[in-house]
Amino acid sequence: MKRREFIQFLGGTSLAASQMGMLSSCSQFKTLKKLPFVPVSPSKEDQLVLADGFNYEVMISWGEKINSAGEKFGFNNDYTALLPFKGKSDEAILWVNHEYPDPTFCSTRADRAKSTIDKERKEVGGSLLKVKKDSKTGNWNIDRESPYNRRLDMNTKIPFDSGVKIEGTNTAIGTGGNCAGGVTPWNTFLTCEEVYVMFYGDRDRVTRKFKREKLRWDLHYDHPPEHYGWVVEVEPLTGKAKKLTGLGRFFHECATTVALSDGRAVCYMGDDTENQCLYKFIASKPGSLEEGELFVADTDAGKWISLDRNKQEILKKTFKNQLEVSIYTREAAKLVGGSPQNRPEDIEINPRNNDVFFTLTNNKLKNNWHGSLLKISPKNGNHESEQFSSKTFLVGGESAGFSSPDNICFDPKGNLWLASDVSGSKLGKGPYAAFPNNGLYYIPMAGPLMGNVYQVASAPVNAEFTGISFTPDGKRMIVSVQHPGEKSKSLKDLKSHWPEGGSSIPRPAVVQISGPSLEKLLS
């Protein structure tokens, strides 16, 4: 896309583009005339490679103790988010997702004994960590002895919201598959249960026939699969959690909320599987996501279709009640005409104009190897509207400089960061020959550099960057480095030794990125 077309595309019209230019001149947004760093090229190194003027340090890695009770930081850290601690500008609560265990490192792949599975059940869920800014260095450090540090895992009892009962009980045991998430307008964390089937499988709505998955936790734990696949809301200071049934059940990648003028919230979600859908939930009460209406996107017609059973005759005929619609959201979405997408993953809202950005990672079933970013513009900028326009924002590929967009985040100055997710087995091969390792990218959203993609970092072998967030002071970037060395055949045949190097086993870790180049981007 030519730059002039890109500018008009961002605003919809030349008038909107000029208005956006005025917005970008305001102090809250950053307009770059010159890039303050030299971008890196895709790397094969087993290192976290950064452009000049950026540096990083590991905040915490898998297996480290997080509190005096001896709880440990879980495996495969993913989404991160920070909320100020009791209104303080130099203290915060950091939430980190833990998505899934890798038996090569966490247990034993062939051994499905109860003791083995018990180890794995502790590795997933999430961590709440108290962090504080060092007044001398500016780094944010974890207080390892804080009473606010705690884990949620697959042993944690978590109720369904509003007293709902699923499979005879109103409480689920544990949360897992925690991929991305969100933060509510009332300052709670949302963590999303994505590929939940890996733990207890799933079953057909009509026949009730089970589909078993490789981890086979069901061999020792009779937990209904319908208890997983939800968005979970977590209170930052207490760890109290609940599963939000109104937001549907599917492979939740993330849950991004925006506040309406009356205090109610709209939550955007995506189902991370080939040919699945985009969703929107409109809450009916301020300060809560327990009640409201769920919609699925028809991107061809530019409309949100209600999944309210009372509004859709086909849903009335198919499902017993609204809860059953929620439990089998995918089926309901297809029945009413939801548009299949190319693996919807992360979702963020452009602070410059309220457009909603969705990453569509790829769709190998359609030979779409490199994915794209989709932009949805609500009618009249109203997130409550059932009408919208949509266009492709960026398309991945070798000429674009990135492939398979996964996580995105707008920084405090309104510019976009993107992390890629080419699977470990495909990196550097076939259509991904130009991408030996995954990357982290910076995309200016205003000024003469607008729309260009610049690579800031290259991940270690087999790893990907996830969970991009920024500290409350806007000076540091927090990023997860997930599954380094995930294609290792055994502990004696390792593909990565990051972050400790030498002959050590690889460890997923959360890092903070700083440096003069980042300061220039965020100042």
Residues 315 and 322: their CA atoms lie apart, in Å, by 9
pLDDT of residue 281: 99
pLDDT of residue 24: 35
Q: Is residue 308 domain-resident?
A: yes
Q: Left, alpha or beta for 124 (phi > 0: left; psi -120 to 50: alpha)?
A: beta
Q: What angle do CA 198, 437, 399 make, to 5 degrees?
A: 115
Q: Is residue 3 domain-resident?
A: no
The tally of domains found in the chain comes to 1
Residues 250 and 196: their CA atoms lie apart, in Å, by 9
Residues 401, 516, 48, 343, Cα dihedral to 10°: -40
Q: Is residue 121 domain-resident?
A: no
Can you give the residue range of the structural domain that contains 174? Answer: 156-339
Mind spelling out the 3-state secondary structure of 89-139?
Answer: CCEEEEEEEECCCCHHHHCCCCCCCHHHHHHHHCCCEEEEEEEEECCCCCC
Residues 512 and 523: their CA atoms lie apart, in Å, by 17
Is-contact 368 341, C-beta < 8 A?
no
pLDDT of residue 213: 85
Is-contact 409 468, C-beta < 8 A?
yes
- DSSP letter for each residue of 375-386: EEEEGGG-TT-S
Q: What residues contact residue 17 under an 8 Å CB cut-off, 6+ apart? A: 7, 8, 10, 11
Q: Is the dihedral of CA 291, 292, 294, 299 positive or negative?
A: negative
User: Tokens in use for 75?
Assistant: 């495996």
pLDDT of residue 493: 96
Q: Is residue 478 domain-resident?
A: no
300 burial (CB, 10 Å; 0-12 / 13-18 / 19+) is exposed
Residues 372 and 354: their CA atoms lie apart, in Å, by 19
Is-contact 438 427, C-beta < 8 A?
yes
Q: Is residue 219 domain-resident?
A: yes
pLDDT of residue 357: 98
pLDDT of residue 324: 98
Q: Is residue 483 domain-resident?
A: no
- pLDDT tens, per residue, the chain with 523 residues: 444 444 444 443 322 332 233 233 344 798 889 999 999 999 999 999 999 999 999 999 999 999 999 999 999 999 999 999 999 999 999 999 999 999 999 998 789 999 999 999 999 999 999 999 999 999 999 999 999 999 999 999 999 999 999 999 999 999 999 999 999 999 999 999 999 999 999 999 999 999 988 899 999 999 999 999 999 999 999 999 999 999 999 999 999 999 999 999 999 999 999 999 999 999 999 999 999 999 999 999 999 999 999 999 999 999 999 999 999 999 999 999 999 999 999 999 999 999 999 999 999 999 999 999 999 999 999 999 999 999 999 999 999 999 999 999 999 999 999 999 999 999 999 999 999 999 999 999 999 999 999 999 999 999 999 999 999 999 999 999 999 999 999 999 999 999 999 999 999 999 999 999 999 999 9
Q: Is residue 126 domain-resident?
A: no
Q: Is residue 17 domain-resident?
A: no
Residues 504 and 199: their CA atoms lie apart, in Å, by 28
Q: What angle do CA 450, 451, 453 make, to 5 degrees?
A: 115
- Please tell me the pTM assigned to this model: 0.94
pLDDT of residue 23: 34
The amino acid at residue 253 is E
Residues 92 and 436: their CA atoms lie apart, in Å, by 36
Q: How many CB atoms lie within 10 A of CB 310?
A: 9
CA–centroid distance for 337 within its chain = 26
Q: Is the dihedral of CA 67, 71, 75, 76 positive or negative?
A: negative
